[in-house]
């Protein structure tokens, strides 16, 4: 990829007393051409940008300059709020204040968000309530209150979904993804980002979809899925015009990837780009994280002075907005940087980082300690009052005063001992809690490893099936050729007048054996093909499809294949004894929905073929039986329902729970692979739907498919 880097770097100095401050610098670059799979800066551009970052090294905007633009917006919103005379307008203005304060002051952000939330609930303003709860999710997550953040996030999601608010539904999913990411639960974070992306792409929310791709890039990277991370990162670079200020997150992920590859100068380029964007928008959380990232690169490059400088800036920015994660990152770096030269400072920053980390994952314990300190302070005040009383009486009772002083000393020693015991108990509880958390993390890790093993098993199954396919083809082909050769040999012997009964019997037996080999070889071939279908991804291209038309097409296809043998062995082949009464009842309100017609067609064929087979089989056993199959569609609240009902023998209750398992079949040996219903189950689940069966022995069975319109 070729980038054309052009920029205008300007510096303006303002005099404040006798101090000059470099207040601004800007860089802009544009893409001339982009290759299909390369979205990272080349070495020449990286070198130029690194030179720019070195020029900026040490030039940090003053706090007043950073706040200035943000405060203009906040002041303007406050003026609008004072003049607003409509509740809906007040809600939107206070939501804007909460959003702008989110970067500067979490407490003020919470104040305006909660006030707007109360007003939205008072006026039954569902959109406002869903939006504000999602905003609170982000702010509470920044403060490390993950349990509270998840609670309000789930409330936001529920309100948005129940009121059919797709934009707010996607936003709630996106905020929940962020909380799970902060907690280190990356699979959950990816799951909620994918949900948000699905909604945003369906409704063409292009900017929100770009943010989703950025979130997925980070989630996949932190979940050690580098290929997926790079794919979504490339999409984020392609849509940089939509992301604007959020591009800092893209640069952070790109920097992390380059850092892992030991491309430290390239990583530094990305971190500086993200730092610059965060600086322009006064985003202290981003400034704190990028400062820590830049510091870590300087550690790798052996520039300890620069590393300490940016780690200190990371602490400063984090403390501005109570960003505990930033304090943990920079504090940990500083404790390591000062460890060999100033142990006291190293201990100070270690304690600062440890305290912030504990507050993220042990808020209840911190509150308990604070209550203990308050009670202890009250007791100390009581002791001071007692001491003053003793001093007043000292003039009169000198001997009693001496004894009182001795008593007070003993009392303080006893108190100190008690305090140490209490502190040891609290530390022991904290240690136990940490050990319990570590145990849970190890358990989660084991579950993730098991899930990865199952995924690898699916890939192995597909590989084995491919390898078996070729020898099976040889078995089938040679058995057929051998049968033909035996027929030729028998005919040649008859023409030559050779009528040895022993030879004729042997040739006949060999022909029968070859016929059985060919029969079972084709059965094995069907099982292998079923395994390949089962291991194949079921995420085909989806398109807007008329459900009634699709169902009708596959009903006719399956029925005619049985009746006329139109599709050969693919659907069971022609059956001369086939005589089934077929009924259809399609709901005209069913309409269309986004789905993969080929995949859903496979599901319908498997279920219809089973229905036709079971009723026809019962007809063969009972000539007076009248076989019937009914197919109907119906519009329901949560999507479209498709049902296939037959009056066959039914499914015994003892095996009903097994019919969707791979390789389980109720058909006689040689007539089924046991993969059809298992494959159908996976396809419907991949569409976000449900498939169920109701059956009664001797009465019949009914398979029901519900396709969710929001899947």
Task: Read off the pLDDT of residues 432-448 as tens digits, 9 standing for 90 and up.
Answer: 889 888 887 876 675 56
Mean pLDDT of 615-632: 87
pLDDT of residue 394: 72
Identify each DSSP E strand in 490-605 by its residue range. Answer: 543-546, 581-585, 592-595
Reduced to 3 states, what is the DSSP secondary structure of residue 185? coil
* pLDDT the model gives residue 409: 85
β-strand partners of 20: 15
Percent of the chain with pLDDT over 70: 71
Question: For tokens 């197919």, what's the residue?
Answer: 631
Q: What is the mean pLDDT of the chain?
A: 75
Direct distance between the N- and C-terminal alpha carbons of the chain, in angstroms, rounded to an integer: 37
Element (H, E) at 645: strand 639-646
Q: Note the pLDDT of residue 654.
A: 76
| Contact (CB, 8 A) for 286 and 278 | yes
Confidence band, pLDDT 50/70/90 cuts, at residue 283: confident
Q: What is the DSSP string of 449-508?
A: HHHHHHHHHHHHHHHHHHHHHHHHHHHHHHHHHHHHHHHHHHHHHHHHT---HHHHHHHH
Q: Please, are residues 56 and 272 in contact by the beta-carbon 8 Å criterion?
A: yes
Residue 58 in this model has a pLDDT that exceeds 60: no
Residue 595: its pLDDT value, please? Answer: 87
The span from the CA of 190 to the CA of 193, in Å, is 5
The strand pair at 700-708 and 581-585 is best described as unpaired
- Evaluate the CA torsion angle 589, 594, 597, 601 in order and state its sign: negative
Q: How would you classify the pairing of strands 628-636 and 581-585?
A: parallel
More confident residue, 537 or 483: 483
Q: Is pLDDT at 27 greater than 80 in this prediction? A: no
Interior CA angle at 644 toward 641 and 647, to 5°? 145
Token pair for 183:
């907690």
Between 42-46, 199-203, 303-307, the lowest mean confidence (pLDDT) is in 42-46
What pLDDT was estimated at residue 681?
Answer: 82
pLDDT for residue 410 is more than 70: yes
At what angle are helices 304-320 and 324-337 packed, to 10 degrees? 160
Provide the pLDDT confidence category of residue 197 given band limits of 50, 70 and 90: very high
3-state class (DSSP) for residue 110:
helix
Average pLDDT of span 97-108:
79
Is 63's pLDDT higher than 70? Answer: no
Q: Which residue has the higher pLDDT, 605 or 492?
A: 605
Average pLDDT over residues 477-484: 72
User: What tokens appear for 308 in the block?
Assistant: 């300490």
Please state the rounded mean pLDDT for residues 188-215. 92
Angle subtended by helix axes 166-183 and 186-202, to nearest 10: 160
Q: How far apart are CA 497 and CA 566, in angstroms?
A: 43
**pTM of full prediction above 0.75:** no
The whole-number pLDDT of residue 384 equals 63
178-187, 283-292, 675-684: the lowest-pLDDT one: 675-684
CA gap 400, 503 in Å, rounded: 132
CB 640 within 8 A of CB 593: yes
Mean pLDDT of 480-485: 74
Higher pLDDT, 411 or 392: 411
pLDDT confidence of residue 469: 59
271 torsion bin: left (phi>0), alpha (psi -120 to 50), beta (else): alpha
Compute the half-sphere exposure of residue 480: CA atoms within 13 Å on the CB side of its CA. 8
DSSP characters for 347-379?
HHHHHHHHHHHHHHH-HHHHHHHHHHHHHHHHH
pLDDT score at 7 = 30
Q: If you search the block for the tokens 């067609």, which residue do you land on?
A: 601
Highest mean pLDDT, choosing among 454-463, 489-498, 504-513, 649-658: 649-658
Q: Would you say 251 and 271 are in contact if contact means Cβ atoms under 8 Å apart?
A: yes
Give residue 644's pLDDT: 93
- Residue 543's nearest CA partner among 498, 497, 584, 594 is 594
Confidence of residue 194 (pLDDT cuts 50, 70, 90): very high
Instruction: Answer yes or no: is pLDDT of 584 > 70.
Output: yes
pLDDT of residue 567: 40
Highest mean pLDDT among 302-306, 319-323, 439-443, 527-531: 302-306
- Among 106-120, 215-229, 281-295, 472-486, top mean pLDDT goes to 215-229
Instruction: Please name the residue that has the structure tokens 């707007």.
Output: 116
What percent of the chain shows pLDDT beyond 90? Answer: 12
Mean pLDDT of 574-603: 83
Residue 671: pLDDT over 50: yes
């Amino acid at each position: 990829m070729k980038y054309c880097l052009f920029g205008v770097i300007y510096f303006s100095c303002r005099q404040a007393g006798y101090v000059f401050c470099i207040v601004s610098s800007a860089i802009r670059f544009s893409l001339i051409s982009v290759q299909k799979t390369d979205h990272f800066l080349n070495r020449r551009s990286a070198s130029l940008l690194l030179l720019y970052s070195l020029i900026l090294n040490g030039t940090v905007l003053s706090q007043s300059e950073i706040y200035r633009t943000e405060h203009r917006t906040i002041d303007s919103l406050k003026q609008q709020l004072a003049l607003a005379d409509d509740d809906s307008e007040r809600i939107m203005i206070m939501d804007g204040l909460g959003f702008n304060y989110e970067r500067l002051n979490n407490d003020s952000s919470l104040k305006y968000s909660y006030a707007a939330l109360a007003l939205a609930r008072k006026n039954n303003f569902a959109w406002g309530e869903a939006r504000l709860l999602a905003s609170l999710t982000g702010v509470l997550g920044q403060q490390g209150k993950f349990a509270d953040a998840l609670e309000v996030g789930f409330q936001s999601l529920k309100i948005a979904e129940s009121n059919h608010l797709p934009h707010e539904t996607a936003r709630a999913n996106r905020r929940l993804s962020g909380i799970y990411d902060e907690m280190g639960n990356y699979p959950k974070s990816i799951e909620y980002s994918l949900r948000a992306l699905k909604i945003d792409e369906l409704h063409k929310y292009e900017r929100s979809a770009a943010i989703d791709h950025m979130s997925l890039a980070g989630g996949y990277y932190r979940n050690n899925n580098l290929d997926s991370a790079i794919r979504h990162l490339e999409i984020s670079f392609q849509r940089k015009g939509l992301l604007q200020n959020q591009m800092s997150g893209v640069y952070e992920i790109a920097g992390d990837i380059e850092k892992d590859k030991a491309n430290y100068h390239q990583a530094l380029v990305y971190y500086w780009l993200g730092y610059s964007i965060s600086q322009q928008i006064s985003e202290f959380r981003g400034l704190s994280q990028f400062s820590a990232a830049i510091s870590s690169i300087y550690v790798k490059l052996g520039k300890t002075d620069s590393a300490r400088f940016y780690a200190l800036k990371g602490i400063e920015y984090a403390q501005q907005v109570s960003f505990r994660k930033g304090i943990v990152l920079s504090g940990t770096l500083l404790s390591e940087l000062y460890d060999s030269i100033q142990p006291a400072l190293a201990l100070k920053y270690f304690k600062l980082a440890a305290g912030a980390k504990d507050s993220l994952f042990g808020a209840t314990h911190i509150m308990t300690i604070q209550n203990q300190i308050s009670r202890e302070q009250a007791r100390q005040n009581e002791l001071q009052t007692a001491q003053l009383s003793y001093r007043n009486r000292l003039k009169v009772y000198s001997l009693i005063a001496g004894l009182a002083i001795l008593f007070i000393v003993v009392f303080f020693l006893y108190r100190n001992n008690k305090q140490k015991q209490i502190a040891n108990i609290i530390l022991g509880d904290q240690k136990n809690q940490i050990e319990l958390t570590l145990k849970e993390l190890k358990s989660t890790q084991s579950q993730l490893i098991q899930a990865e093993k199952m995924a690898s098993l699916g890939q192995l199954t597909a590989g084995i099936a491919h390898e078996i396919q070729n020898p099976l083809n040889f078995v089938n082909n040679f058995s057929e050729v051998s049968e033909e050769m035996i027929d030729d040999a028998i005919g040649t012997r008859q023409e030559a007048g050779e009528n040895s009964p022993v030879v004729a019997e042997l040739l006949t037996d060999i022909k029968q054996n070859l016929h059985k080999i060919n029969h079972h070889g084709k059965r094995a071939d069907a099982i292998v093909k079923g395994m390949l279908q089962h291991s194949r991804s079921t995420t085909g291209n989806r398109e807007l499809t008329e459900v009634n038309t699709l169902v009708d097409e596959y009903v006719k296809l399956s029925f005619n294949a049985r009746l006329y043998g139109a599709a050969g062995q693919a659907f069971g082949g022609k059956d001369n004894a086939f005589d089934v009464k077929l009924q259809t009842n399609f709901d005209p309100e069913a309409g269309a929905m986004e789905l993969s017609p080929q995949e859903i067609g496979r599901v319908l064929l498997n279920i219809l073929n089973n229905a036709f087979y079971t009723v026809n089989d019962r007809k063969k056993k009972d000539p007076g039986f009248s076989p019937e199959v009914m197919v109907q569609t119906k519009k329901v609240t949560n999507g479209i329902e498709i049902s296939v009902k037959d009056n066959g023998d039914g499914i015994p209750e003892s095996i009903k729970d097994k019919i969707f398992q791979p390789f389980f079949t109720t058909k006689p040996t040689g007539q089924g692979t046991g993969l059809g219903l298992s494959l159908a189950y996976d396809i419907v689940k991949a569409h976000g739907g449900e498939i169920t069966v109701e059956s009664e022995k001797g009465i019949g069975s009914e398979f029901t498919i519900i396709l969710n319109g929001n899947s």
